[in-house]
Amino acid sequence: MHIHVDHLDNSGSIMGFATETKINEGICKVLTRATFTSDEQEFYNYTDQLSDIFLTANNIIIDTINRFLILIHKDFSADIYLNEFKTEMEICPKCNVEKGQLIQKNDILDIRRIRFPEIEILETDKMVYCFKVGWKFGLFFDLAGDGLMDLDKAYLDIGKLERKLLYCHLYKLLDSQNMLEEMQNDGWFPFVEIMNTEFKDLMGIYKDKIGFEERIDNIVSRFDKERIESITDKWWNNEYYFNKQSIIKAGINSYLLLNKEGYISCIKNIITEVEGILRLNYYQETNKGRIKIKDLLNYLVNKCDAKFGHKDSLLFTNSFFNYLNNVIFSQFDLEKNNVALSRHSSSHGVAKPDDYTKIRALQMILILDQLYFYL
């Protein structure tokens, strides 16, 4: 495919953007490397100035552009790539994929890097990349001085920016403490299984609570026998799940009875296996049998971050830590009538019978599924 390239012989010795106003001579801080989305005011300030230098001055009509890549070379010349150039997304898939297979958003567990396979980028170059996802834009630039650009770090940062834009509704929720806390207290989390599908519907329900219970029930009803089996079939590839298969399946089969007794049995069964699988994994790796819950959850988060190579995966490790620590493994207090359903209130027999619902039973299955991707 032919790639259209606009070339500038001299783009000037651009170093970055001043981050403070200085009237007289003195020290001024300069932003040389950053990422922004179009939700941030800085995006417009920086893209306007970059456009004036590289696009408008080169008679490029801005309204026709949905993405551009600018490479500034060490001789101050620059190449400008517009719209029609290939990008390559490195992802972590949720399941096995075959070469040539169509990848859909629901197949993506995490986005790692964005590369430009047809364009040669040198460590001595400076880079500006602006791109559109849905109705939003992202901006990355590395305009550092005479040093060498870390290309892999640049690809990782652009991948992070793509991830943030593609899943902006989830990141917005994580920044909205009140709504997130309300959903978590009801047992919900942007689990991998529902992240691209049902969770967006759940957010809409919590924003507009008209017909709340009926709409929640409608979402839960989507998890029929076939859907549950599609979730659990992969579990048995993991040794910890495989070794507990008979116990876990007893909980799953109880859920599929679709009655109150089944939901009670499912929750009683799976909520303890969540902790059990965590502890067994920790013991096998450390040969230590005793560890507090909070430390066990920190171990889980660190393990997941190491597995994906960064702390910003779509498994939302920090938020999942808070969810498990504050909701699933929360302590109870009989004197204060604080006996919300949790690992402790259920195992000690003080949880309220009315809390053993179909919704909470499904959430236990989704938690166990989330752990599968962590481990």
pLDDT band at 1 (very low <50, low <70, confident <90, very high): very low
Which pLDDT band holds residue 118 (cuts at 50, 70, 90)?
very high
Radius of gyration in angstroms for the set of CA atoms belonging to the chain, rounded to a whole number: 25
Q: Which residue has the higher pLDDT, 3 or 212?
A: 212
Structure tokens at 152: 């892999």
Alpha-carbon distance of 85 to 344, in angstroms, equals: 55
Number of residues that this document lists for the chain: 375
Contact 191, 369 (CB under 8 A): yes
Q: What is the pLDDT of residue 157?
A: 95
Name the 3-class secondary structure at 276: helix
pLDDT of residue 84: 86
Question: Please, are residues 35 and 159 in contact by the beta-carbon 8 Å criterion?
Answer: no
Contact present, 112 and 163 (Cβ < 8 Å):
no
- pLDDT of 363 strictly over 90: yes
- The yes-or-no verdict on residue 111 having pLDDT over 70 is yes
Residue 344 has pLDDT above 80, yes or no: yes
How many CB atoms sit inside 10 A of residue 246's CB? 7
Tens-place pLDDT, residues 80-92: 999 889 999 999 8
Segment 116-142 shows an average pLDDT of 95
CB contact set of 251 (below 8 Å; sequence gap of 6+): 265, 266, 267, 268, 269, 270, 273, 364, 365
The answer on pLDDT for 2 being more than 70 is: no
Give the rounded percent of residues in the chain with a pLDDT score beyond 90.
Answer: 71
Asked if residues 40 and 53 have their Cβ atoms less than 8 Å apart, the reply is no
Q: pLDDT category, 311, cuts 50, 70, 90?
A: confident
Q: Classify residue 12 as exposed, middle or buried by CB count within 10 Å of its CB (0-12, 13-18, 19+).
A: exposed
The DSSP bridge pattern shows strands 88-93 and 126-133 to be: unpaired
Q: Does position 267 have pLDDT exceeding 90, yes or no?
A: yes
Lookup: tokens for 351: 């949880």
CA–CA dist 98, 83 (Å, integer): 28
Residue 186 has pLDDT above 60, yes or no: yes
151-171 pLDDT, tens digit each: 999 999 999 999 999 999 888
Higher pLDDT, 106 or 70: 70
Give me the mean pLDDT over the 63-87 stretch: 91
Mean pLDDT of 59-87: 90
Tell me the C-alpha distance between 302 and 323, whole Å.
16
Residues 98-106, mean pLDDT to the nearest whole number: 85
Domain ranges of the chain: 5-166, 176-374
What mean pLDDT comes out for the span 57-73? 88
Whether 321 and 184 have beta carbons less than 8 Å apart is answered as no
Q: Please provide the average confidence, as pLDDT, over all residues in the chain.
A: 91
Q: Using one digit for the tens of pLDDT, what is the confidence trace for 221-254? A: 999 999 999 999 999 999 999 999 999 999 999 9
Type of residue at 373: F
Residues 6+ apart with CB under 8 A from 272: 343, 346, 347
The DSSP H or E segment spanning 92 is: strand 88-93
Q: In 3-state terms, the chain is what percent helix, strand and coil (to 5)?
A: 50, 15, 35
Q: Measured between alpha carbons, how far is 206 from 179 in angstroms, rounded to an integer? A: 8
Characterize 298-331 residue by residue with b for buried, 16 or more Cβ atoms within 10 angstroms of its Cβ, and e for exposed: ebbbebbbeebeeebbbbbbebbbbbbeebbbbe
